[in-house]
Structure 1
């Protein structure tokens, strides 16, 4: 296996590999995480430097049973095995520490590979190491900015989980799921003819990580009904088979349309009801407003009114505003495209949304 990094497909496969007693380095990673991708390059170089050791990868959220077994809550994350036992771990993008920990398990094995000196991180290659270091600097810079308090984040998560009677936090969108488990749950909800909202957790890492603690549920997708967590893909599939899912979701009608609209409007301090998403607007007016907000560096939430006809028609009457997009600030309507562009051209948009 020398020099190769192989993907693990199941916990049973990993358990069988551990029984060999050979030194093993295991990388828990995620395709959406830049630090994971960079450390994966370091990992691959180390696999070449230590051909008698075994190097494996696990996509953390695709294999929750493995991630939960080793208490993985963030990526990149590494677990090191010796004689079939987990002897060390490493969290975060630290190439030098990774190289040293690999060297320890390899150097202390019967393969008689040399232990890694502290400088072994250079084996990963200067270009890769510089990239990782720059990423670490960016992370430090980001942390220096004022961050939302846990209380504020929890308020936001509570609003999001209540933004639709049935709310799915998933990878991707219902039209383009980005993992098999999300695709399964979307399929189940559509089979049951359930009207549901969704949030792409790949688009917002703060929500992604915060929701794991908020719900005490480490993986995605997560399905909520009237603000209460039902569970992930396994539970949803079991509930469908037993017929319990349809019964539970029938309770969704208890929330009135007006209450639902109020929850949506107040789900973010600045909230845009638009056609499409900020990254893929589906009309020129929505695209203009998104650009104006981004030019002012305004953080805002959004709702695609094309995805929900009930909201689309209901909010016209609710706001007494017949067209889209519609922009709200602290629960109050600011206006549509024309008003937003006037505020932007006069230089008043930023001030209006920060009063």
Structure 2
């Protein structure tokens, strides 16, 4: 029987023995570097005291790859529930309410059919668990169910306060001391090189901020760098501005300088710290070897095992993603070389494996790579770095063309030398109204000429677009001009 505590598992045989006894067993896969799984582990520990007759097991996923692999674990936190000698349920992600509810259903509850939402969790577990869930929600800035009034306004106010909380503010994955993705780490390094003091916010700790800021800034990825409340951009833009000297000019224009640097180190600044990276303590020979390995292939995976025989589910997941993206890569089995395994953690400031590098830059581990694939960011990065050649369809090309200028005219000939009377009339109408426009000669490209008819469902030329939307052909444009609607349409 359970003892009302959580036991760290050393082998799968321990789990099998408890499961075969027929008692309820709850198996939690977690990682020390993952804040979400740490929070879940607190709830897990409290639940073990409320249901002492069940077995509660904890597995550090990346340190026990054979157990993780046996249960197909590819991300943490992850929980497997056993009852009557077999697995009956699973839970992926940080959801303490579902955890308590599922434990109650497996181990017994006052009302096991009652969903254990945060407000009613006491029906499934004790007061201690309820308090822990409340703290979890508080730490993650969660908004209680049913309390949605003014949520959008409150969130925008919160985002504005965060953005303006420091003259230079970085929203990143992880912290400056422990970045959780290679892009965030790159921006931190650049700010350090520029000797700029900055604040930071770990968007992995707050889902509301993480999703809300994307819409607020109209910028879909992280990191995001702000200067005096204005968005500078993401990793690629910051790198480009840094290399071109523009970033220093931006800071200078906003009267931000490096006067806060003291003895080569930055003073602390709110939730974030800037700082010159301390020496890794690695010898020059080890560092040189690591750099050589990282750059031995445009795409390099440091993993447990080999592509033919991965030794952990996380490594297998990254390989699957690379194969789905049809990317050629090389790998290194860190289990075969302690010097590389331990040294790379220090060199990259990334505490776990696998680690994916593209053109010598750390991308991240399994969770980061999976998220980037789902959002399409991984393919963009691979294309930007020349690893893959993106296949552009005709629709892709047409979409870019119609949006290449706010006002875009597809015509026969050019504005200076129209090749048909209808095109000439539209050019004259736009010129008379003082409208600036771009143009494309459909006589020069038969694929565009034929494809745009289907794309726009408009069979003739010219075709006029405004902000990517079709306005119409010659007759419609002339009618709008005569009615005074043409100029007002473009000024909306």
TM class by shorter chain equals: 0.3 to 0.5
Q: TM-score, normalised by structure 2?
A: 0.33
Quick one: higher RCO (CA 8 Å, sep 6+), 1 or 2? 1
Larger radius of gyration: 2
